[in-house]
Amino acid sequence: VKVTPLSGFPEFLPAQRVVEREVIASLSDTFELHGFANIETRVVEQLDRLAKGGEVDKEIYVLRRLHATDDDATGDKQLGLHFDLTVPFARYVLEHAGHLEFPFRRYQIQPAWRGERPQEGRYRQFNQADVDIVGRDVLPFHHDVEVMRVMVDALDALPIPPVSFQFNNRKLIQGFYRGLGVPDVTAAIRTIDKLDKLPENLVADLLVSDAGATPEQAARCLELATIRVPDTSFVAQVQALGVTDDLLDEGLAELAAVVEGCAAGGHDSVTVEANLRIARGLDYYTGTVVEIFMAGYERLKSVGGGGRYDALASDGKTTYPGVGVSFGVSRALVPLVAEGVLNGSRSVPSAVLVSVADEQSRPEADAVARALRSRGIPCEVAPSAAKFGKQIRHADRRGIPYVWFATTDPDGATTHEVKDIRSGNQVPADPAAWEPPAEDLRPTIIGFEARP
Amino acid sequence: VKVTPLSGFPEFLPAQRVVEREVIASLSDTFELHGFANIETRVVEQLDRLAKGGEVDKEIYVLRRLHATDDDATGDKQLGLHFDLTVPFARYVLEHAGHLEFPFRRYQIQPAWRGERPQEGRYRQFNQADVDIVGRDVLPFHHDVEVMRVMVDALDALPIPPVSFQFNNRKLIQGFYRGLGVPDVTAAIRTIDKLDKLPENLVADLLVSDAGATPEQAARCLELATIRVPDTSFVAQVQALGVTDDLLDEGLAELAAVVEGCAAGGHDSVTVEANLRIARGLDYYTGTVVEIFMAGYERLKSVGGGGRYDALASDGKTTYPGVGVSFGVSRALVPLVAEGVLNGSRSVPSAVLVSVADEQSRPEADAVARALRSRGIPCEVAPSAAKFGKQIRHADRRGIPYVWFATTDPDGATTHEVKDIRSGNQVPADPAAWEPPAEDLRPTIIGFEARP
């Protein structure tokens, strides 16, 4: 009978849920100010679309009906829960292409599922927020700058610790390695991506053994990976390494444009860097790549990431290039909430508890509540006509700031008063006119003040 | 390569999704005005909590990892996707009881999953909106009236066809059958619940064969079931049938209070009835029951329902009585959207497309967009410096009402103008001051005008 939590499936208490809702509302606001349309995809995809032979395959949750005797009869294909929002988005674009306008700019905030071993920041069900722009056949580069700047604006508006956007560009790395003469460029990228897990000398050895580089080439690859600056000075630093290649030049120009575009605009809690060791292992990135880190929470690894992919989807005839970036809502928020860094200001939406003097007068209390609600003031009526002290404690335990009292004298005249239970201040009030201060109207996020 | 829809998993196009989002936002607003806190539960429950031997069991989707070799090692229990929001809510209450304040008033808007044969209004993944109030050990009856009235207010505010709340009370039926002397009251309730599928004479026969009623008793049960009125006149009608029973009296008083409480308040598109054939087959209801129907869409059966359950959850020591009601968001909206009765006014949030005269002037267009966004006006910048006619068509195809033009003359002076592409009207405008009319600021729901 005892109910214990399910590891990897975190759940928020009502006040904690305020944090998640406000964060999602704020992200949505920013995305919409930039003209991104919201979509939701179904949570299941056909298994052959999810499982592509990669590392993530073994973490896919596959569905079957409990008594699946008629699966064959109804022609069901095997279904799995999506493990990110990119695979379902690519399928959505292909399925609905005839009804979409391109470039198609969408955001999507939904859970995804991975059956991995739970740890801090890694959950089996987690919410994620993705923004992407996808073109039909072509997608001009300026959309790379645009979509990254949208996420910079979005995270800058959140009441979370400062975040750092660390950008690189696959053309830059590929062109550099190619210009350097490294035999297996793809293997070299995959190897350099291990720099956050392995020491430099070991990565150098692997570049030689796995990518066919000479020790001298391996040293130059590592030199490139040490470049990390908050502006476009990386261009001169890379050029000083003396490698020439057309693709390298293109990558340098693109990365400079992204860094410049994202650094502009006076953000309070976002920093932007070119960090030339960011590679992102996934094969499908072809240009801009980014990883996002949260100050003080580097142990979570990145709280977001993304990049440019020249073939998000393809139906054989048409190819859909895309660029996008994802923010791990659960990955960032669950630890912040668990540590009490963030919490909701109260556990209920109510700004007012309308007290009940006795059960006979409940209709009058209901009428007060209706009057307040008609002017957009969330409120609730006390569940029982307990002593007023108990009703005030009822409000206090939920964080409701105001308690309303209506007292009727023997002549039938009713006096209305409202008490701010934080100050104890009680004043006459008219149900048809009284308003709480704007900051008390709705629950808000409390806790994180450390803006720079 | 061709992607075909997955039967039973409907997905909305971006403009259609506007309808669903606005409906969910409106429901949330009403629930919060009444002080209900939002929660989200994880989508999975342990299978032994979901499968209780009922009809729904065979529709449960069970999860397993694709390569589940280490399931035993990590001690995983079998997990399934929830098929409603009541089972997870009951589990949430038990799991978090120590951190919740009772009576606990929550709403929850999430998908649920059932592997049933797809048909109109019945989907394998569907969104649902639930409001419930749950007490610890006790829950006064007035909460029945409260929670039903909240849903009446919530649906009255939606731009959907009129809905009808049809109330009954299990105490009323049980007391009537008991007072009448029907041997098996439970079987009789289950039988009367079939009146919407079977003809009356067959139901009468079943009352005799399955519930042990005499033909005379069966006739009286059917007589009770024919009573359907929009006010409390059912009380006198039932009393005229000459059955006396304490539980019957209690049920009559409760049903009268619910009908009166929900009918009050001047709703535009909600009607309220006492309909004494509503039984709701589910065993756990113990008092108020309700089913909700949508005018013109009776073929969908109910689009919502709920009631009172004296034991929503129990941990052996403490029992949690509850009362709640659910609205089938997908069940109601998917047919309305598919038929084109409802649609979004545009497929993107943008109120303005900022045109681009040539790629060199893209930064100036970005600056105009920033100025508009800083004042809360959603906008996007044209993806290419195509001919203005083509840029206007770009806006038109997405339903964006305004196109912004900035032209710089040879002396470097810039003129700003904004065109309402519906009227063709083009006027000078200041990026730091111009505002669209409020009704153009955000996408809205269009289509349903037929309010009574």
Q: Are B342 and B160 in contact (CB under 8 A)?
A: yes
| Residues of A whose CB is below 8 A from B3 | 91, 94-95, 315
Select the residue of A36, A38, A379 nearest B35 (Cβ to Cβ): A379
Residue type for position B319: T
Contact A96 B11 (CB under 8 A): yes
Tens digit of each residue's pLDDT (9 = 90 or more) over A23-58: 999 999 999 999 999 999 999 999 999 988 888 888
B357: distance to nearest CA of chain A, Å?
15
Partner residue facing B348 (CB), from A3, A37, A92: A37
pLDDT band at B282 (very low <50, low <70, confident <90, very high): low
- Write down the pLDDT at residue B31: 98
Instruction: Render pLDDT for B387-427 as a digit per residue (tens, 0 to 9).
Output: 999 999 999 999 999 999 999 888 888 999 999 999 999 99
Within 8 A of A373 by CB-CB distance, chain B residues are 33-34
- Does pLDDT of B362 surpass 70? yes
Probe site for chain A from B1, B2, B4, B6 (most A CB atoms < 10 A): B6
Q: Order of strands across the sheet with A402-408?
A: A379-381, A352-354, A402-408, A414-420, A425-428
Contact between A17 and B11 using a beta-carbon 8 Å cutoff: no
- DSSP symbols for A23-38: HHHHHHHHHHHTTPEE
Q: Does A40 sit within 8 Å of B13, measured CB to CB?
A: no
List the beta bridge partners of residue A323: A133, A308
pLDDT in the model for residue A452:
35
Provide, as residue numbers in chain B, all residues whose Cβ is less than 8 Å from the Cβ of A156: none
Tokens of B30: 């009403």
**B33/A362 touch (CB, cutoff 8 Å), yes or no:** no
The reply to whether omega before A103 is within 30° of 0 (cis) is yes
Helices (H), B269-420: 329-338, 362-374, 388-398
How far apart CA B191 and CA B194 sit, in angstroms, is 6
Q: Compute the nearest-CA separation of B94 from chain A (Å).
A: 7
Smallest Cβ–Cβ distance between A66 and the set B17, B62, B265 belongs to: B62
What pLDDT does residue B72 have?
A: 42
Residue range A63-86: average pLDDT? Answer: 76
For residue B447, the model assigns a pLDDT of: 81
pTM: 0.96
Catalogue the E-assigned strands of A96-226.
Answer: 104-113, 125-134, 163-169
Considering only alpha carbons, which residue of chain B is nearest residue A115? B65
Task: Give the chain B residue nearest A363 (alpha carbons).
Answer: B261
> What pLDDT band is residue B450 in, cutting at 50, 70 and 90?
very low
Residue A449, pLDDT score: 57
- Partners of residue A397 in chain B, C-beta under 8 Å: 101
Tokens of B60: 């449960």
Using a CB-CB distance cutoff of 8 angstroms, which residues of chain A are in contact with residue B46? 6
Which is nearest to A148 in space by CA: A288, A342, A341, A50?
Answer: A288
Q: What is the pLDDT of residues A175-201, one digit of tens each?
A: 999 999 999 999 999 899 889 889 999
- Is the CB of A33 less than 8 angstroms away from the CB of B349? yes
pLDDT value of residue B212: 96
Segment A366-379 mean pLDDT: 97
Residues of chain B with C-beta less than 8 angstroms from the C-beta of A378: 32-35
Contact state of B42 with A14 under an 8 Å Cβ cutoff:
no
B74 pLDDT band (50/70/90 cuts)? Answer: very low
**Pairs of CB atoms within 8 A across A/B:** 216
Query: φ and ψ at A77, to 5 degrees?
Result: -90, 160
Measured distance CA(B370)–CA(B379) in Å, rounded: 9
> Is the pLDDT at A75 greater than 60, yes or no?
no
Rounded to a whole number of angstroms, the distance from the CA of B113 to the nearest CA of chain A is 10
Out of A37, A63, A394, name the one closest to residue B347 (CB). Answer: A37
Q: Out of A63, A314, A383, name the one closest to residue B103 (CB).
A: A383
Chain segment A299-345, per-residue pLDDT in tens: 999 999 999 999 889 998 999 999 999 999 999 999 999 999 999 99
pLDDT given at position B70: 53
Beta strands in A351-401 (DSSP E): 352-354, 379-381
pLDDT exceeds 90 at position A450: no
Residue B448 pLDDT > 70, yes or no?
no
Question: Which candidate from B40, B66, B68 shows the least CB-CB separation from A80?
Answer: B66
Q: What is the mean pLDDT of chain B?
A: 93
Low-confidence winner among A52-56, A236-240, A348-352, B318-322 (lowest mean pLDDT): A52-56
- Residue A341 C-beta-side C-alpha neighbours within 13 Å: 16
Q: What is the ipTM of this complex?
A: 0.95
**pLDDT of A19 strictly over 70:** yes
- B361: chain A residues, CB-CB within 8 Å: none
How confident is the model over A259-270, as a mean pLDDT? 91
Q: Do B14 and A6 touch (CB under 8 A)?
A: no
Environment class of B98 (CB within 10 Å of its CB; exposed 0-12, middle 13-18, buried 19+): exposed
Is B1's CB within 8 Å of A350's CB? no
- Given this model, what pLDDT does residue A392 score? 97
Beta bridge partners of A44: A81
What is the nearest CA distance from A13 to chain B, expressed in angstroms? Answer: 7
Contact yes or no for A92 and B65 at CB 8 A: no
Residue in chain B nearest A104 by alpha carbon:
B348
